[in-house]
Amino acid sequence: MGLANRGWRPRPGGIYDLAFSIDGADPIGVTAEAINSTHVSIRLADSINLFNHFRRGSELRVASTRSVFTFNLVDSSAMLAQLHDCVRRHTQPATVANLSGGKQRPGPPTRDPVADPVLQAEAAVLLANVMAAANVSGYSMGAPEEAAKIGGHAFWTAPSALGTLLIIPHRRIDDREIPGFVTGVNASGCKGAFMSASLPVADTRTIRVTTTCQRPGEALSTSYYFGVPRPRGGIYLFTTRTTRDGGREDVERADDLIRQATYRTVN
């Protein structure tokens, strides 16, 4: 897959971690190589299902560590059919060794989990899909660097609330330690009166926690957390919290909208 954007400025030959989603489906992590200052090339899996998703899709969203870009897939069905015929007529199947020169690209170095660009890109695509479906008024997406500062892989902000998405790749949704982990992190950051509670859920595939912090001389800060299973393993943990200009009703409303949108978006 080749992508071009005049606003990009990648370093030719550079390797970048991205994630993409078709029509709001689960994000897929990929590696892109910059062909020049405006074009990147992405090697996709040899998958009939993925081919059909592109053929039938309407919108492609691609996320880097800094931005989310949208591409129109209208008429992709006819284009892909012609491309398929062209490839079939003029090429022979190539082996992996031929494509890579017999060498394997070394794996990425160990990263801080919150600063992992692969997870940041996946979270950015998913959160953009969820927020588009949630209809939260006046929100904007933030940079992953800012999300990392507040413990997330992606985040959004609005006048009366803000929220994050944290991907926990190696934990199960039924892990009994997760609510305690959420509560403990918030308690350690609250320099005042702290309260927490688990909220009722409809099934065991969802977790919900709320916390409040009353710092001396400041307004009450309220946070809502809910987690759902990540299809490829792990947990998507969403946080919605009040800002200085928001109240409990604002964050409750935003949390409800985002939860309902997440149930519709995450397969």
pLDDT of residue 86: 55
The answer to whether residue 107 is domain-embedded is no
Can you tell me the mean pLDDT for 63-84? 68
Q: Of all residues in the chain, what percent carry a pLDDT higher than 90?
A: 19
**More confident site: 171 or 75:** 171
Task: Return the residue matching tokens 């998913």.
Answer: 126
The answer to whether residue 126 is domain-embedded is yes
pLDDT of residue 76: 62
Host domain of residue 81: 2-100
Q: What is the pLDDT of residues 157-206, one digit of tens each?
A: 998 899 999 999 888 888 877 887 777 777 767 777 888 888 887 777 88
Query: If pLDDT is split at 50, 70 and 90, which confidence band does 80 have?
Result: low
Q: Which residues of 184-193 are buried (b: 16+ CB within 10 A; e: fewer)?
A: eebeeebeee
Lowest average pLDDT, out of 122-136, 181-195, 208-222, 230-244, goes to 181-195
pLDDT of residue 60: 87
Residue at a domain's end among 77, 100, 123: 100
Lowest average pLDDT, out of 19-33, 181-195, 206-220, 249-263, goes to 181-195
Whether residue 18 is found in the same domain as residue 90: yes
Angstrom distance (rounded) from CA 119 to CA 154: 9
**More confident site: 100 or 180:** 180
Contact criterion met (CB below 8 Å) for 216 and 200: no
Residue at a domain's end among 100, 129, 145: 100
Average pLDDT, the chain: 79
Can you tell me the mean pLDDT for 103-117? 54
CATH of the domain at 243: 2.60.120
Angstrom distance (rounded) from CA 92 to CA 13: 26
Contacts of 177 (CB under 8 A, 6+ apart): 171
Task: Return the residue matching tokens 């949108």.
Answer: 261
pLDDT of residue 75: 61
Whether residue 93 is found in the same domain as residue 118: no
Whether residue 64 is found in the same domain as residue 163: no
The answer to whether residue 33 is domain-embedded is yes
Residue 98 has pLDDT above 60, yes or no: no
Lowest average pLDDT, out of 28-42, 108-122, 131-145, 216-230, goes to 108-122
The answer to whether residue 214 is domain-embedded is yes
pLDDT of residue 99: 30
> Terminal CA-to-CA distance of the chain, rounded, Å?
24
Whether residue 121 is found in the same domain as residue 67: no
**More confident site: 49 or 234:** 234
Query: If pLDDT is split at 50, 70 and 90, which confidence band does 95 have?
Result: very low
Whether residue 121 is found in the same domain as residue 250: yes
pLDDT of residue 166: 93
Whether residue 177 is found in the same domain as residue 204: yes
By CB atoms closer than 10 A (0-12, 13-18, 19+), residue 69 is: middle
The answer to whether residue 165 is domain-embedded is yes
Task: Return the residue matching tokens 């927490």.
Answer: 196
Residue at a domain's end among 100, 132, 155: 100
Whether residue 135 is found in the same domain as residue 66: no
Query: If pLDDT is split at 50, 70 and 90, which confidence band does 156 have?
Result: very high
Whether residue 119 is found in the same domain as residue 208: yes
Whether residue 122 is found in the same domain as residue 64: no
CB hemisphere CA count around 145 (13 angstroms): 2
Angstrom distance (rounded) from CA 261 to CA 147: 21
pLDDT of residue 127: 92
Contacts of 33 (CB under 8 A, 6+ apart): 13, 14, 15, 16, 40, 41, 42
Whether residue 205 is found in the same domain as residue 258: yes
Kindly state the DSSP code that residue 102 receives in the 8-state scheme.
T
The answer to whether residue 106 is domain-embedded is no
The answer to whether residue 105 is domain-embedded is no
pLDDT of residue 83: 60
The answer to whether residue 166 is domain-embedded is yes
Whether residue 198 is found in the same domain as residue 140: yes
Q: How many domains does the chain have?
A: 2
Whether residue 189 is found in the same domain as residue 91: no
